[in-house]
Structure 1
Amino acid sequence: MRPPAEPDSPADRQPEPGLRADAERNRERILAAARRLYASHGLGVSMACIAREAGVGKATLSRRFATPDELINAVFADRMDAYAAATAQALADPDPWHGFVGYVQTVCAMQAADRGFADVLAMTFPPAKALEARRTEAYNGFLELIARAKASGHLRADFTDQDMVILLMANAGVIAATADAAPDTWRRLVGQMLRAWAVPGTDLPSLKPAPAPTALYRAMVRLARPAAGSGGDTERATERAGGR
């Protein structure tokens, strides 16, 4: 019979409740900081910048999330769930064209509300398996949505799922460029694309007004600034925004 281990044996030590609570608090602080920075600056924010925003060390961040993909997966899991739910809701619409239009508008609105999610929808993250699984689920639903909208006679026969990817990529760029100067510009883009995809004579939602020329000029000037500087603009801008 083996003698019992000493009370202070490392093998018998369990994490104290206080330590577990601290670890969970750190995790939530990291996630909250990442959400804020991704939403305002996109996915280009560095892990070091997120650690500073959360008020934790780089080692603490690495223990919770070893790679950027792990952090992205945790931050955007709920948003990807909402993305998949938007597909299901569109498929449940008895009017296939109305469901298709609602899906496009909803997904693009989700992009506009969160720059980080705009990047997520326009990119792939193979190591983030949960995120990609939900994306695949939504994609398969969208293929069905396309088939139904075409069968209704309202969606052009030459529309493909790649056209939606192109819109998401374009919308991400428009959102990034006009977020401060003309934040509703993306709605105009979506409206024009729906007109391009619709069969002539199809009922369409009203087209939003074009942004004012002065607002577009401000957006163009803002967009040109990073190209004129050296690398690290995203992190420097983030640090300025955080008062660091």
Structure 2
Amino acid sequence: MTDLGDPATEPPATAGAPAERPLRADAERNRRRILQAAREVFTEQGLGVTMDDIAKHAGVGVGTVYRRFPEKGELIDALFEERVSEIVALAEEGLTIEDPWEGFVHFLRGQLELQAADRGLKELLISHGHGSNRVTAARSRIAPIAIQLFTRAQQAGVIRADVAPTDVPMIGMTLGSLVDYTRESHPDAWRRLLAIVLDGLRVQPEVGTPLPAEPLTFEQLDQSMACWKSGRR
């Protein structure tokens, strides 16, 4: 593709003029083109891509990308805040399901399906190295409602009493990595492992195997996520 360029679209600011002016149609088209390209590249390759990668995919010069989005974090904000909200919506849907176990499974399976479809989303949810306060705030919205889902199922006696809320995101991290490693060879492999994990979480008529270690504290969970290293697979 050829570089469409990004001609000057706003006249110099003058006294009493508004701080921002609407973009001209050609500049707005470039902005949408960049956002779409970033969405596709992040989804396919993760957040480690460069602004040059995004510019090449969009068919514009890298200078055009930087004029619209001076930092990659701004692109991440624009694209992933909405995606993180989809995780929150999954949890909210789970609470509307009468059966506490089915509601919990709906949330866990649904967010893994989103991660399987969008590599960048998984990196955003786990890694502390990407995104700004706005995305971090959106991500933090997930925890309270996810814990509510978990607690409801545990109090109903369908999740083992010795499982802790912090075990669930660790399961997500583990299966999320499996999604990456099998994306090309066996993209549904995570579904098989999820079924095995769910059997382990659910209260069975017989006594389950005692768990060999204490659950993570929330501080330890945060440290584990911070240490996770993103990379292309």
Structure 1-normalised TM-score? Answer: 0.72
How much has 1:170 moved relative to structure 2? 1.6
**Matched-pair contact (CA < 8 Å) for 2:179–2:187:** yes
Once the two structures are superposed, the pairs formed by residues 126-137 of structure 1 within 5 Å of their partners are 127-137=131-141
59, 62, 66: which is aligned to 1:58? 62
Could you tell me which residue of structure 2 aligns to residue 223 of structure 1? none
**Matched-pair contact (CA < 8 Å) for 2:38–2:54:** yes
Q: Which has the higher helix share?
A: 1
Amino acid of the structure 2 residue aligned with 1:46 = T
166, 179, 183: which is aligned to 1:179? 183
Could you tell me which residue of structure 1 aligns to residue 38 of structure 2? 34
How much has 1:160 moved relative to structure 2? 2.3
Q: Distance in 1 between matches of 2:186 and 2:143?
A: 30
97, 119, 123: which is aligned to 2:123? 119
Amino acid of the structure 2 residue aligned with 1:177 = Y
**Matched-pair contact (CA < 8 Å) for 2:76–2:131:** no
Amino acid of the structure 1 residue aligned with 2:24 = R
Could you tell me which residue of structure 2 aligns to residue 159 of structure 1? 163
How much has 1:174 moved relative to structure 2? 1.2
Amino acid of the structure 1 residue aligned with 2:77 = N
Q: Distance in 2 between matches of 1:165 and 1:198?
A: 16
Q: Is residue 2:66 matched to residue 1:49?
A: no
Amino acid of the structure 1 residue aligned with 2:137 = A
**Matched-pair contact (CA < 8 Å) for 2:77–2:131:** no
85, 88, 92: which is aligned to 2:89? 85
How much has 1:107 moved relative to structure 2? 0.7
How much has 1:108 moved relative to structure 2? 0.7
SS in 2 for 1:161: coil
**Matched-pair contact (CA < 8 Å) for 1:122–1:168:** no
How much has 1:110 moved relative to structure 2? 0.8
**Matched-pair contact (CA < 8 Å) for 2:124–2:131:** no
Could you tell me which residue of structure 2 aligns to residue 170 of structure 1? 174
How much has 1:32 moved relative to structure 2? 0.9
Q: Distance in 2 between matches of 1:91 and 1:126?
A: 30
Amino acid of the structure 2 residue aligned with 1:161 = P
Could you tell me which residue of structure 2 aligns to residue 139 of structure 1? 143
70, 75, 94: which is aligned to 2:74? 70
How much has 1:10 moved relative to structure 2? 6.5
Amino acid of the structure 2 residue aligned with 1:143 = I
Could you tell me which residue of structure 2 aligns to residue 22 of structure 1? 26
Q: Distance in 2 between matches of 1:9 and 1:188?
A: 59
**Unaligned regions of 5+ residues in structure 1, if any?**
1-7, 203-232, 238-244
How much has 1:163 moved relative to structure 2? 1.7
Q: Which moved more, 1:167-176 or 1:151-160?
A: 167-176
**Matched-pair contact (CA < 8 Å) for 2:77–2:135:** yes
How much has 1:155 moved relative to structure 2? 0.6
What RMSD, in angstroms, separates the aligned Cα atoms of the two structures?
A: 2.7
Could you tell me which residue of structure 1 aligns to residue 14 of structure 2? 11
